[in-house]
Structure 1
Amino acid sequence: MRYMIIVKATRDTEAGVMPEEPLLAAMAGYHEALMRAGVLLDASGLKPSADGWRIRYRGSARSVTDGPFAERADMIAGYTLIQVNSREEALEWTRRFPNPAGEGVDAEIEVRQLFELDDFAPGEAIDRFRAMDAGAS
């Protein structure tokens, strides 16, 4: 089971403020523990939305809107992707996630399970995804 730990964007992350050393050290320690346990798949911070863009689909038309975006509550500042054996194991790891805003500051992370190919009905498209997955291994 794969889970994504989502760090919500804040005013500071959107302003490009880099985390201070104590928070970086806590995050490094947490991710090292995930790595030692063999459950870490990927982790990264995201640059502010000012460096990004959105694609809007309306029928068959697509339009591009450059950042920054005002709806900070809907944005993420980073993620950690883990692979564990159960929801309970994922919950235990996420309870240990360092406060992304720094100790004593209100913050929130969101955790979502990723779909696996076995969650979908068999079909040609799923077989194509399986072939890509096998090629990436």
Structure 2
Amino acid sequence: MRFLMTTKANGAAAPDEAVYAEMAKLVEEMTQAGVLLATGGLDPVGVHVTATDGTMTVTDGPFAEAKEAIVSFALIEARSQEEAIELSRRFWKVVGSGEGNIQQVFGPED
């Protein structure tokens, strides 16, 4: 099963070099183990897209609550939601404090 783990801005300060180094180790370990499929940071400003009857409207950000913006993600492969939570626990141990979500990703095979 694939899961998308996301983190929110929450107004937290940027991580220091020690956190980046520890995160790089975790990313390498999870990639080598085959559980980390993709990871990256997201621009918190972005655009909002609304479609009605095939007509699309694009609205530029930033939006009402910038601290609610998703700023990073990891796409992982896990056997269960419990395993995904455990992998997330390892991430938060490195990062410290914050807020995010874990959602199962469905594809054509599901």
Normalization by structure 1: what TM-score? Answer: 0.67
Mapping of residues 1-137 of structure 1, within 5 Å: 1-12=1-12, 18-49=14-45, 52-72=46-66, 74-98=68-92, 102-103=95-96, 106-119=97-110
User: 1:79-111, CA deviations, whole angstroms, 9 ceiling, x for partnerless residues?
Assistant: 0111122223222211111358x53xx411211
The secondary structure found in structure 1 opposite 2:62 is: coil
Seen in structure 2, the aligned counterparts of structure 1 residues 54 and 24 have a Cα distance that, compared at 3 Å, is: same
The secondary structure found in structure 1 opposite 2:63 is: coil
| Aligned-residue identity in percent | 38
Structure 1 gaps of 5+ residues are 120-137
The secondary structure found in structure 1 opposite 2:109 is: helix
Pick 1 or 2: higher relative contact order, CA cutoff 8 A, min separation 6: 2
| RMSD across aligned positions (CA) | 2.2
Q: How many residues align?
A: 110
Once the 2 structures are TM-superposed, how far is the Cα of residue 47 of structure 1 from its aligned partner? 1.9
CA distance in 1, matches of 2:85, 2:38: 17
More helix by share: 1
Structure 2 gaps of 5+ residues are none
More strand by share: 2
* Conserved 8 A contact 1:27-1:98: no
Normalization by structure 2: what TM-score? Answer: 0.81
Question: Which one has the largest radius of gyration?
Answer: 1
CA distance in 2, matches of 1:87, 1:10: 24
* Conserved 8 A contact 1:3-1:90: yes
Once the 2 structures are TM-superposed, how far is the Cα of residue 54 of structure 1 from its aligned partner? 1.4
Displacement over 4 Å in runs of 4+: none
Once the 2 structures are TM-superposed, how far is the Cα of residue 18 of structure 1 from its aligned partner? 4.5
